[in-house]
Amino acid sequence: MKSPYVSELGADQSIVTYFLVCGKEVCSSAKGRKWLQLELGDKTGVIYGKMWDGFEGPAATVAPDDVVKIQARSKTYNGKLELTVEKIRRAEPEEYDLEDLIPHTEKSIAELKKKLAGYVAAVRNPWIAQLLDAVLDDPRVAGRFERAPAAKLMHHAYVGGLLEHVVSLCGLCRLVREHYPELDGDILTAAAVLHDVGKLDEMSYERAVQYTPEGELLGHILIGYELVSRKMDGIEGFPAELRTLVLHLIASHHGHYEFGSPKLPMTREAVVFHYLDELDSRVGAVRRGLEAPAAEGEEIWTGRVAALGRRLLRTERFSAGTSGEEPGAAGGQGSKPGPAGGERK
């Protein structure tokens, strides 16, 4: 078994271990000094590494998606943990277990698929039901939907993350529909299932999560809009007004122009869905931030959580012993958060 994982690293620690290369870049300072910058990951998280000396060889031979063996020392820089890489080489396949290196949802994929099927089966609008079946039964979708992440970094950024995010949103949509009965529950379910379907082609995710050329040039909103449009074209008699409403949900779900949304939400369901999507993605980002290793001397604080633009207080450490329960007890403040969540939503 790989050791240590990213989540086990502390400051001033010498390590020899394996990582998946998620990104690399040769950087230069204003004074002309160069170094190799690496984004290194395993199933517990990502850490940045810098190689200062003798990096020319690795820079030419190591690429994203490679598994590498490194010798390094950890340190805290600007409040964040990073690695100073001393030695690095590509690892042989027999040296590592890929399951140790790729983040994966902690939930059962089979159970998530069963829940999603239940939400789709509950749709009463026959046109939306046909549309959802057409999308989810497409062999190009079905085989990848259960594996795709929901984002590269921000939330649900792991294998199965998109399916987990969609099922979570379906549940939120059902709860909100019960609270606000004027909402169209079928439209909300369609939004939950379809809003991020473009991410299947926006990113590659066989190993490290990377953006595809199509993803960089178009983004998941346009990719998903086109895919869903084609599916509606294939359903004879699909109502034009319903087509507009469904496509508007995809086009507006980011909620703001500055967040890449082509349109602002302008229907009751579109407004509600934007905030539900925002809620689920932000909770995913909070989980990711809280599960990241604490910097030395900052045990009760996370580093800056990019999706939120702030750091977070680790309340279970700040208020340890105040709940009258043992840390980690069910329902107490020490309860362990779920899988880490989540760049682009």
| Statement to judge: residues 125 and 193 lie in one domain | yes
| Statement to judge: residues 93 and 113 lie in one domain | no
Instruction: Provide the Cα torsion 259, 261, 263, 268; round to 10°.
Output: -80
Residue at a domain's end among 70, 100, 130? 100
For the residues of 138-155, what is the DSSP string, one character each?
-HHHHHHHTT--S-SSSS
| Statement to judge: residues 133 and 22 lie in one domain | no
- Quote the domain boundaries for residue 28: 6-100
Helices 109-121 and 126-136 sit at what angle, rounded to 10 degrees? 150
| Statement to judge: residues 265 and 124 lie in one domain | yes
In a domain, 293, yes or no: no
Residue at a domain's end among 265, 284, 303? 284
Specify the CATH number for the domain of residue 94.
Answer: 2.40.50.140
Residue at a domain's end among 100, 118, 149? 100
Amino acid 151: pLDDT: 64
Give the angle 36-38-39 at the CA atoms, nearest 5°: 165
In a domain, 335, yes or no: no
Number of domains into which the chain is organized: 2
| Statement to judge: residues 158 and 279 lie in one domain | yes
Q: Residue 8 gets which letter from DSSP?
A: G
In a domain, 170, yes or no: yes
The β-bridge partners of 16 are 71
Amino acid 295: pLDDT: 66
In a domain, 234, yes or no: yes
Decide if 301 contacts 190 (C-beta within 8 A).
Answer: no
Amino acid 152: pLDDT: 60
| Statement to judge: residues 81 and 210 lie in one domain | no
Amino acid 1: pLDDT: 66
Query: Each residue's pLDDT tens digit in the chain (345 positions)?
Result: 678 888 888 888 999 999 999 889 999 988 889 999 999 988 888 899 999 999 999 999 998 889 999 999 999 888 788 999 999 999 998 998 888 888 788 889 999 999 999 999 999 999 999 999 999 999 989 888 888 876 665 556 677 889 999 999 999 999 999 999 999 999 999 999 999 999 999 987 777 777 889 989 999 999 999 999 999 999 999 999 999 999 999 999 999 988 888 999 999 999 999 999 999 989 988 887 887 767 667 788 887 887 788 989 999 888 876 655 554 544 444 443 333 333 445
For the residues of 230-241, what is the DSSP string, one character each?
HHHHTSTT--HH
pLDDT digits (tens, 9 = 90+) for 219-252: 999 999 999 999 999 999 999 999 999 999 999 9
Q: Which amino acid is at 304?
A: R
Decide if 106 contacts 339 (C-beta within 8 A).
Answer: yes
| Statement to judge: residues 138 and 204 lie in one domain | yes
pLDDT digits (tens, 9 = 90+) for 256-300: 988 888 999 999 999 999 999 999 989 988 887 887 767 667 788
Specify the CATH number for the domain of residue 207.
Answer: 1.10.3210
Cβ atoms within 10 A of the Cβ of 320, count? Answer: 14
Residue with tokens 């690496």: 38
Decide if 70 contacts 49 (C-beta within 8 A).
Answer: yes
